Chain A
Amino acid sequence: MIELNPMVIFIAAIFTNNMILSNFLGMCSFVAVSKEINTSLGLGQAVTFVLAGTSIINYLVYHYILVPFNLEFLRFIIFIISIAAFVQLIEMIMEKYIPNLYYALGIFLPLITVNCAILGVSLFMIIREYSFLQSFAFAVGSGIGWTMAIVALAGIRQRLKRATVPKGLEGPGITLIVTGLMAMAFIGFSGIVQIQ
């Protein structure tokens, strides 16, 4: 693996390797939540935050506990537990100390545990053998990229409400087509940087 500058990975994760538009991760909540700009912005923030936190935890756990004991095959279980635990912990801390943010993000936090993007980022950073800084940059970049995509889609969907859509395509169908068009637009970025 060529040593990549963390900054390069950060940019690549936002634009060229966008979590939704090129890796299809986090689609479930993407389609369900992207109805309004405000809620999708909230969810995006929460996802970015959890991504940054869990990538650090999972990186440390994987390299300092699982690898020395040859327990790599347990990584799925460990990652999902650490994500669930992190989300719980954040929820409790926020409720106690920053209630404003808690009420803003509150309902989204439990949803995040089952968001494929979180587990996906943790798995990708292991498979691609990123260093600590690279993993962190990748996680934050992915979060920002995800937020950007979902907010953009929410904006488009708000306009779509007034459009007439063929009967069978209403709802999820047209959302997927819009996402496809966005993905095509993002291919245009692929010249900037490329990570595999």
Chain B
Amino acid sequence: MAKQSSKEIFSLGVWSDNPVFRQLIGICSALAVTNSLTNSLIMGLGLTFVTALSSFTISAIRQFTPKHIRMMVQVLIIAAYVIIVDIFLKAYYPEFSKTLGAYVGLIITNCIIMGRAEAFAQKNKPWPSFLDGIANGIGYSAVLLFIAFFRELMGFGTLFGFQILGDWWTSWTIMIMPPSAFFLLAIVIWITHNIQHRNEKSEVAKS
């Protein structure tokens, strides 16, 4: 892979190669926590932290890891960072730790982290891998927050727990139930695919 500048890494991870709507990975947790903005923010931060640091570590020791056990090594590194996040949440934000429940642990099996480790950290130096992890984490968080914004606003009439819409608003119970997450993610994919499709077309027309 050619050497990429940090700016390119960011634009790839956040937009043109966004893990959620381009590569369609890591959506398990993306859907589950998006019924409130606060949860999504914490989940996004946790995932960004784990992806960035595990990419960094995996890339730092990539020359010393035997090829056939590298998956196991990667999983263990990821699990170690997830444990840090879990303990941190339990110690400082016990109420969030309770609402997120098993989903913090499920960061381990989030395909984004494994995907980045395999696709990027395995072939690049530690520092770019770190940036790549952050960029993908931001891309993931952005989608999460976008979906959560609509679900919380329409489901509860609140944002980050503060009442935004007045009494006249009838809460849509469907928005806090599972189906709306599927629909909203589908809509996000639809919109972004269309935009990216159009950009590609205009680029072809220019050249």
**Using a CB-CB cutoff of 8 Å, which residues 40-57 of chain B contact chain A?**
none
Q: Which 5 A-B pairs have the closest CB atoms?
A: A180-B182, A123-B102, A176-B186, A168-B193, A24-B31
The stretch of B21-29, B126-134, B149-157, B159-167 in contact with A is B21-29
Q: Which residues of A contact B183 (CB under 8 A)?
A: 176-177, 180
Rounded to whole Å, the gap between the CB of A27 and the closest CB of chain B is 5
Within 8 A of B (CB), among A104-161: 114-116, 118-120, 123-124, 127
Q: Are A24 and B79 in contact (CB under 8 A)?
A: no
| Residues of chain B contacted by A116 (CB below 8 angstroms) | 28-29, 106, 109-110
- What residue in chain A is nearest B80 (Cβ atoms)? A77
Q: Does chain A have a CB within 8 A of B190? A: yes
Number of interface residues of B (CB under 8 A): 43
**Contact between A168 and B194, CB atoms less than 8 A apart:** yes
Ordered by A's residue number, 24 sampled pairs between the chains whose C-beta atoms are within 8 Å are A23-B32, A24-B27, A24-B30, A24-B178, A27-B27, A76-B82, A76-B108, A77-B76, A77-B80, A80-B109, A81-B76, A114-B114, A115-B109, A119-B108, A120-B102, A120-B109, A127-B102, A166-B190, A168-B197, A172-B24, A176-B182, A180-B181, A183-B178, A184-B174
Kindly list chain A residues whose C-beta atoms are within 8 Å of the C-beta of B178: 21-22, 24, 183, 187
Residues of A within 8 A of B24 (CB): 31, 172
B166 to chain A, nearest CB (A): 28
Which B residues fall within an 8 A CB radius of A?
24-32, 72, 75-76, 79-80, 82-83, 86-87, 101-102, 105-106, 108-111, 114, 174, 177-183, 185-186, 189-191, 193-194, 197
Q: Give CA–CA (A21, B181) in the complex, Å.
A: 10
Contacts of A166 in B (CB 8 A): 190
Q: Are A76 and B83 in contact (CB under 8 A)?
A: yes
Q: Give the residues in chain B near A119, CB-CB below 8 Å.
A: 105-106, 108-109
Contacts of B182 in A (CB 8 A): 176-177, 179-180, 183
